[in-house]
Structure 1
Amino acid sequence: MKFGEIVNNFSVPPHPKGISIEGKLVSLKPLVADQFSKELFLSNALDKENINWAYLPYGPFKTEPEYHKWIESFEKNDDPIFFAIISKKLNKATGIASYLRINPADGLIEVGHINYSPLLQRTTEATEAMFLMMKWAFDNGYRRYEWKCNALNLRSRNSAQRLGFSYEGVFRQMAIVKGQNRDTAWFALIDKEWKKVEDCFKKFLSSSNFDKQGRPIVSLSALTKPLLYKLDNLDCS
């Protein structure tokens, strides 16, 4: 009896521990406290109202030693794998992101713990960082790339769909975070969709897509929106 599509020619992809990823605008390096905690702490300190930490299960951190200790607590772990996002223009780390729920056996990997300082937010560098992480995952054989967030975090939900992730639903009462209920919205991109989404990123990030003031002529959302999978495509009959 057949319960789903047969998966042929699948090879278990590599684990991302220890990798670095190089782009035109940013570099992603393993997040090491001794190397990056100070400049990340200073970059994060520009967020005077601590808005960045609202939906994260940790932070804000009052001192750099406290932030340093937090990084040290996971830098040797195998999951999640954190990266410092280094701006080549500013020559310093301006944000972090991670791979998590890493499951090479099933070709599954998630992006999360994204925390962009004000220096990185709403920049082309920020978009390239997400593109580089996606590209590494699919180039290395992962089948499914996930994004999850608090269902109330509309900014994160909109970001996911802008980046080409399709909405898959909400898991209710999935966690308690900082004493509050969290319903979790799920988004994903699969390998069959990646080539078209990758083309959207290439068009968006192309120098020809930016005017003399550095503003994009065509938005990434406009490019990816037609590709998003609709929940009503699911046949549960």
Structure 2
Amino acid sequence: MTSRTPNPLGPPVGGNTAQRPSRETRLVGRHVTLVGVSSAQHADQLYPHISGPENAYLWDYLFDGPFDDIAVFRANLKAKETSQDPVFYSILLNDQGNNEVVGMTSYLRIEPGHRCIEVGSLLFLPKLQRTPAATEAMYLMARHVFEDLGYRRYEWKCNELNAPSRRAALRLGFTYDGLFRKHMIVRGLNRDTTWFSMIDDDWPGIKQALEAWLDPSNFDGEGKQKKRLEEFRQ
């Protein structure tokens, strides 16, 4: 009998199944705190900043919205409160104890068995965009995924036309994985989806860079960064 060369197989994966994220979790940083979305607590604060034609662009790359009726928006957040996948969080500013809501985010496509999870449904108000608080929110979520929940792959996906999202993924340390052409039809429009990922092997270096960038010593008296985040990974 002719011997057959074994097919190549991947290395064994040890460890336990990852944990599912919980909306009861509070992720606390210097600038922001992430808490489970609450229609009762957050809808009225968010609505003036996400409604109306002047704010409709905030929803361009999301799967719901825009909202021009606060009752409909409250109902939308109420549904998000009980969603198991995605699990939605509100982003609160730690500003003199005011806990102002400045955005929403979520974990989704949660696969504890494969230890793979995605961050998405990002809605950042202008007050949060391009700030250390926004970077810290993403840092807190990534740290929770790898260090508390036990995932080994963390994904970021976005519409290929969403250039700010693509830039943000690369800035934060995600690696470009590829383009899924004609991946979805959203609101009757084609969506090609760009995939990015961060894995547990990457995390120690990415964490070190994020913490160095977020350190108060990296900002001058006017709050301007001294070194870009990318420079800490060189």
| Structure 2 residue aligned with 1:235 | none
* 1:53-92 mapped onto 2 (5 Å cutoff): 53-89=59-95, 91-92=99-100
Q: Which has the larger radius of gyration?
A: 2
Mapped to 1, the partners of 2:50 and 2:218 lie a distance apart of 30
Q: Aligned residue for 1:51?
A: 57
Give structure 2 stretches of 5+ with no counterpart.
1-5
Q: Tell me if structure 1 keeps the 8 A contact 2:51–2:66.
A: no
What is the percentage of aligned positions where both structures have the same residue? 38
Q: State the one-letter code of the partner of 1:103.
A: E
Deviates more, 1:63-72 or 1:144-153: 63-72
Indicate the residue corresponding to 1:147 in structure 2: 156
Matches within 5 A, 1:35-46: 35-45=41-51
The structural deviation recorded for 1:73 is: 1.9
Inter-partner Cα distance in structure 1 for 2:53 and 2:226: 29
The alpha-carbon deviation at position 64 of structure 1 amounts to 1.8
Two-structure CA RMSD over aligned residues (Å): 1.5
Residues in 1 aligned to 2:185 and 2:111: alpha-carbon distance in whole angstroms: 24
Superposed displacement of residue 49, structure 1: 4.3
- Give the aligned partner of residue 99 of structure 1: 107
> Retained in 2: the 8 A contact 1:84–1:96?
yes
- Give 1:43 deviation, angstroms: 3.1
Corresponding residue of 2:204: 195
Unmatched segments (≥5 aa) in structure 1: 227-237
CA distance in 2, matches of 1:117, 1:15: 27
| 1:45 shift after superposition | 4.3
Q: Structure 2 matches for 1:1-237, cutoff 5 A?
A: 1=6, 2-8=8-14, 10-17=15-22, 18-45=24-51, 48-89=54-95, 91-140=99-148, 141-224=150-233, 226=234
1:96-125 per-residue CA deviation (whole Å, 9 max, x = no partner) reads 000000111111110000000112111111
Q: Tell me which moved more, 163-172 or 84-93.
A: 84-93
The number of equivalent residue pairs is 224
Cα displacement (A) at 1:47: 8.1
Tell me the equivalent position of 1:231: none
CA distance, structure 2, for counterparts of residue 112 and residue 55 of structure 1: 11
TM-score (norm 2): 0.91
Distance 2:146 2:165 in 1: 22
Indicate the SS of the match to 2:84.
coil
Does the residue aligned with 2:61 lie in a helix, a strand or coil? coil
Moved over 3 A (4+): none
Inter-partner Cα distance in structure 1 for 2:194 and 2:118:
13
8 Å Cα contact 2:49/2:55 also seen in 1: no
Specify the code of the residue in structure 2 equivalent to 1:54.
D
For the 8 Å contact 2:50–2:67, the answer to whether it is kept is no
Greater shift, 13-22 or 132-141, is seen at 13-22
Q: Secondary structure in 2 aligned to 1:16?
A: coil
Q: Which amino acid aligns with 1:14?
A: Q
CA distance in 2, matches of 1:137, 1:5: 22
For 2:63 and 2:26, the matched residues in 1 are separated by 26
| Larger mean Cα displacement after TM superposition, 91-100 or 64-73 | 64-73
